[in-house]
Structure 1
Amino acid sequence: MTDTPIAVVTGASSGIGAASARRLAADGFHVIATARRAERLTALVARIEAAGGRATAVVTDVTDDASVRALAEAVPGPVTLLVNNAGGALGLDPVESGAVADWQRMYDTNVLGTLRVTQALLPALEASGAGTIVVIGSTAAFTPYEGGGGYAAAKHAQTALAGTLRLELNGRPVRVIEIDPGMVRTEEFSLTRFDGDAARAEAVYRGVAEPLLAEDIADCVSWVATRPHHVNVDRLVVRPLAQAAQHKVHRTS
């Protein structure tokens, strides 16, 4: 047990997850940073501790039931905050030729990963007396786009999960918040989507003067999580100024 509030962040090895872990540690949380890559988690914890924060690395695969159970057992006390960030996109193929394996993987990570971790940690969140679940979604959760069928379908399902959970937890001391980012430039999101093709990944952001950064979304996570507990920010949609909609992005070149 500890008097320091505990925040669990999934997918913390890079991007929004790593930025959120750093920000929450700076906010005074003891961050339980989870992801599959142990070496990246170790480096993240070292960086947080060097800055005076508290963090613990727990290697977790959100697509594996036993791994998620082990995460729940490793948490040292009641959980104040869970950031369901693990997810991602694979491919940009049309529906008629999309790889079923990619769709399955996206669903298992984005949707069932959120389900597994939330189920496993819900007792600890409720035990805190003032728990918060943050789900990192996407603007793809409400606007489909060509080539994004698998990712949009998974993010739509994740939104349905979050909305249903909020209804079912009504009257209990756990709030559910969804953050839906638009274009965010991180070191791995597009690179993973295009199977390591750096040229295709770079083209996503070409000519966009200021896409969002992982730190911008971490700032949103911090803000919603630190509102008075009676304030529930159901859904926060955040895009860069250059992006008016999924299909409308101002490019300088």
Structure 2
Amino acid sequence: MPTPGVVMRMLTAPPANENTGTAPSPATISAGVEAVYHLSATDNLQPAASTMYFLSDIEPILNDSSLFDEDVSNTSLGSETSGRGLAWLVLSYITGRDDGYGRFAPSQVPPTSFFPHGHNKDTNGSNEPQLPPVGTVVVANGSSPRADKEDDYHAWYEEEHAGRLAKVPGWQLNRRYRLEKKYEQGNCVETAKFYGINFYDESNGLGGEVWKESTLTPWTSRIRQQAEKPNIRRTWQIVARCNI
């Protein structure tokens, strides 16, 4: 049975204004790519560039490193002391929710819904989900609960946290993933066990009162105390996109 998910290709390229290179085409990554989002970091952290490839099945990539090796050979990383690095995080889809489309798991939606859809109607007034526009803010939060506390972590995210984030002004959608594999050249990316990825309008309520309230609950505090290590939070902005 196919395992839907995402490949996050991350490129470290100091200084910030240096050419970050060209991400591989969807066909180079996998035959099952359904949508691609090119991201630029907004938090002044490295890696500074990321491309998200949403796949109907990540299994071929989990079992074969040749596509990553080809990407490395085609990317100018320089010497080991250059500070440049390349990584692929291969993530399997857990669940998600959309503004106006409810909450769903892989068995409940068609394959084309495994990649993010926005909440706005298109120019013809259609109610079909739309791709998030360029400028959309993407917040990726990586969490690593202790093994004996993973059930509590998943319950917290589904029963409390996701619903609270959905009330933040400008929120579009959420996707949750499990890290399955990391390919890396240059030791450039710290990883977590699980990732909650939320999409917001360019004008949004991140940092505002509703968002703050979502981070200050007793259950949230308990989840933080049960973590193996601190969360990894990255913020990005979509600079280009395409659906296949």
Higher relative contact order (CA 8 A, sep 6+): 2
TM-score normalised by the chain length of structure 1: 0.29
TM-score normalised by the chain length of structure 2: 0.29
